[in-house]
């Protein structure tokens, strides 16, 4: 049994009640590849709205979760609060949070452990800056980010890795098919060496970074690319084409 193709839509800080209802209606009405797992991540204010309207079989993710069960943590959401609301996934370690909010590898790992221990599934993001890529440090940076998580958890069955080169997020620049496949293969090799052969075989590794319906089919053909984490394009009708790109 191969790895199930996976497409996540990260809405980031975008959307209104109307626009998110429209996106969900489009997904509900579309003929989606039944072999592709689909998860959307609206802003936290709209998580319940999304879960209420999204059809069964499609899941909802938070864009963040805190690593404590409850308490005086203004603005944060706990694992249990998400689970009680029918939210089954969370995105963690996104470069925007690492860069803008200064979340370090240790904090991302702590949140990942809290989420997994609490029964949530995690889209764990990793990626390098343009300077790091040009310095030849891509694999080192990405595996260091992943190692922080591996130091805290053993079971990777609820984790999907999203490789997102920072220089390709929202810039219109896309890693070439070869560049993306090369890093995905290196991540899989690292999993095999540092975690287990089982984790390497079964963990899905997504590509994120200016994915569109124009480049998704070619990327989907690569042996180590198991799907996508989509940003801006997930707000558009063409998101359906990306979800179906493994059929092309």
Q: Choosing from 37, 59, 96, 164, which is the catalytic residue?
A: 164
What gap in Å lies between CA 183 and CA 115, rounded to an integer? 26
The DSSP result for 144-164, as a single string, is HHHHHHHTT-S--TTEEEEE-
Whether 164 is a known active-site residue: answer yes
What gap in Å lies between CA 225 and CA 163, rounded to an integer? 10
The answer to whether residues 242 and 27 touch, using CB atoms and an 8 Å cutoff, is no
The DSSP result for 119-145, as a single string, is T-EEEEEE---HHHHHTT-HHHHHHHH
- 62 SS3 class: strand
Q: Choosing from 37, 59, 94, 213, which is the catalytic residue?
A: 94
Phi, psi dihedral angles at 135 (to 5 degrees): -85, 5
The torsion region of residue 79 among left (phi > 0), alpha (psi -120 to 50) and beta comes to: alpha
Q: Which residues belong to the active site?
A: 94, 164
């Amino acid at each position: 049994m191969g790895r199930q193709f996976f497409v996540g839509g990260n809405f980031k800080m975008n959307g209104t009640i109307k626009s998110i209802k429209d996106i969900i209606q489009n997904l509900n009405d579309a003929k989606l590849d039944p072999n592709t797992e689909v998860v959307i991540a609206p802003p936290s204010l709209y998580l319940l709205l999304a879960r209420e309207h999204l059809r069964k079989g499609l899941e909802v993710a938070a864009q963040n979760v805190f690593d404590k069960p409850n308490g005086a943590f203004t603005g944060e959401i706990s694992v249990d609060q998400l689970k009680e609301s029918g939210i089954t996934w969370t995105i963690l370690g996104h470069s925007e949070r690492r860069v803008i909010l200064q979340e370090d590898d240790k904090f991302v790992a702590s949140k990942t452990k809290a989420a997994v221990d609490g029964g949530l599934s995690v889209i764990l993001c990793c990626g390098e800056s343009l300077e790091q890529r040009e310095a030849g440090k891509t694999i080192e940076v990405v595996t260091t980010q992943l190692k922080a998580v591996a130091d805290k958890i053993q079971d990777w069955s609820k984790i999907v890795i999203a490789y997102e080169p920072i220089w390709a997020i929202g810039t219109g620049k896309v890693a070439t098919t070869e560049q993306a496949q090369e890093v995905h293969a290196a991540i899989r090799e690292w999993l095999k060496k540092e975690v287990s052969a089982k984790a390497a075989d079964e963990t899905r590794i997504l590509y994120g970074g200016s994915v569109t319906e124009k480049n998704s089919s070619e990327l989907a053909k690569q042996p180590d690319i198991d799907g996508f984490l989509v940003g801006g394009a997930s707000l558009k009708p063409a998101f359906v084409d990306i979800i179906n790109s493994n059929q092309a």
